[in-house]
Amino acid sequence: MPQPRVLVLRAPGTNCDEETAFAFEQAGAIAERVHVNRLIENPALKDRYQVLCLPGGFSYGDDIAAGRILATKLRQHLSDLVDTFVHGNGDRLVLGICNGMQVLMRLGVLTEGLPSPVDAPATLSWNDHGRFEDRWVHLAVDKTPCVFLKGIERMYLPMAHAEGKFVAASAEVLETMQGEGRLALRYADGEQGAIDNNVLPFPLNPNGADANIAGVCDATGRVFGLMPHPERHIEATQHPFWTRRSEQPEFGDGMAMFKNAVDWFA
Ligand SMILES: NC(=O)CC[C@H](N)C(=O)O
């Protein structure tokens, strides 16, 4: 099986790049952490990679708005790189985790092709309670073309963010996204929780996101952004109650996402 090469993009304030690269490597990929300034110096570096991953953290200190500055830098200096991974020949993948999803949202690649009643079809806003929130959440996968979520029904993952509330500009945006399978990942009520479009109470929905949205993809399913952290649950012993389980699964819930990415290139 060809080993895909993953570009894990770093910027000042990124803090999940090591774990994310490790998760991809455990899944069978070759992952390299590359600083955004190295790519600006040498844009041709991008041609080494099949997957672009924007990891979590506080890029540029979350100044102005989380993800805003890195997104602007990418748009100004590396639009060709973004275009190659997002569109290109349709043979590459893009994953944004937490701050990475924030960057993808600010770039507009996760809401491409949607009706836009105001300046953007959707955005990420501050959590309803106005604070940084760090907790484990139950997630359910909706019917979706998302490559990363193939075969996954549920996950239990940590979330850790302040600006993670997905807000759509209109009901039409949400309907279109759901129709295209783009509302891929939702906060759910416990392990058996189903997809629910009615906003679940805190802490089930930790930020008040519309339709309990935790992750969205583009229309092709190759570009995916999620607020929870799959790279923080790739081993069974990272589960908060692992010592109380009689049997351990082979991997933590997040691992399947990284394996799906690797398998897509097989
Ligand atoms: N874990 C993260 O990537 C945090 C994202 C961002 N800094 C926020 O607080 O919203």
The domain spans of the chain are 5-264
246 Cα: distance to centroid of ligand 1 (angstroms): 34
The confidence score (pLDDT) of residue 165 equals 98
Percent of the chain topping pLDDT 70: 100
The confidence score (pLDDT) of residue 261 equals 98
For residue 96 and ligand 1, the question of a CB distance below 6 A is answered with: no
Residue 264 has pLDDT above 80, yes or no: yes
Residue 24 has pLDDT above 70, yes or no: yes
For residue 65 and ligand 1, the question of a CB distance below 6 A is answered with: no
Over residues 104-161, the pLDDT tens digits come to 999 999 999 998 878 899 999 999 999 999 999 999 999 999 999 999 999 999 999 9
For residue 163 and ligand 1, the question of a CB distance below 6 A is answered with: yes
Mean pLDDT across the chain: 97
The confidence score (pLDDT) of residue 191 equals 82
The confidence score (pLDDT) of residue 118 equals 80
The confidence score (pLDDT) of residue 117 equals 77
Q: Helix, strand, or coil here: 34?
A: strand
Region 57-80 average pLDDT? 98
Q: Per CATH, which fold does 5-264 belong to? A: Rossmann fold (3.40.50)
Active site residue 239: no
Residue 183 has pLDDT above 80, yes or no: yes
Whose CA is closest to 147, among 217, 246, 52?
217
Residue 1 has pLDDT above 70, yes or no: no
28 Cα: distance to centroid of ligand 1 (angstroms): 27
Triad 81, 183, 137: Cα angle to 5°: 100
Nearest ligand 1 atom to alpha carbon 163: 10
261 Cα: distance to centroid of ligand 1 (angstroms): 23
User: Phi first, then psi: what are they for 77, rounded to 5°?
Assistant: -110, -20
Q: How far apart are CA 155 and CA 250, in angstroms?
A: 14
The confidence score (pLDDT) of residue 110 equals 98
The confidence score (pLDDT) of residue 2 equals 83
